[in-house]
Amino acid sequence: MLKKFVSSFLALMILVGCSGGSSSSRNSAESIAQGLIKDLKLEDKVAATEQRILQGLMFFPEDTVDDASLYLSNDKKADVVGVFHLKDAKRSQEVLDCVEAYRQTLKAQMESYAPGETFKVDSAIVEVINDNVIFVICDSLEDARKAVEKL
């Protein structure tokens, strides 16, 4: 009886050990976003957005994004860092359209409340890199481009 239990347990452990490799093959949206924030020195300027709020801002269609991280300015500026992992790369345009709609809404808000920020919003970086949509708005466009190119 004990022998059967031990051999079953060992078989289960081997199966569990073999199944965990695929999830570590890519960085999470959160880790990518935090890397961009660190590279752009935005640690004190942006704050993480809860997932339910993120969905309310971006309105991603169902089954397009399976991991997302969004940091918004905490000082009434236009700074944004967003990383959205595509569930299906073929549907990237749908996600890009949602990011563009948010960018246009943000631009309209900035025109009314902080006109000096509209240039940053117009110069936003929105790119698809490695099955991720990267969205960055910050003061230094050049530094942002370099940080995104490193991905």
| Both structure tokens of 44 | 């004190």
pLDDT along the chain (151 residues), means of 10: 44 42 65 97 96 95 96 95 96 97 97 95 96 97 95 90
Burial of 87 (0-12, 13-18, 19+ CB in 10 A): middle
User: Which pLDDT score is estimated for 26?
Assistant: 67
Determine the Cα–Cα distance for residues 9 and 79; give it in Å rounded to an integer. 51
- Position 27 scores a pLDDT of 87
What confidence score (pLDDT) does residue 66 get? 95
pTM of the model: 0.82
pLDDT value, residue 140: 93
- DSSP helix/strand/coil, 58: helix
Domain segments of the chain: what residues? 27-149
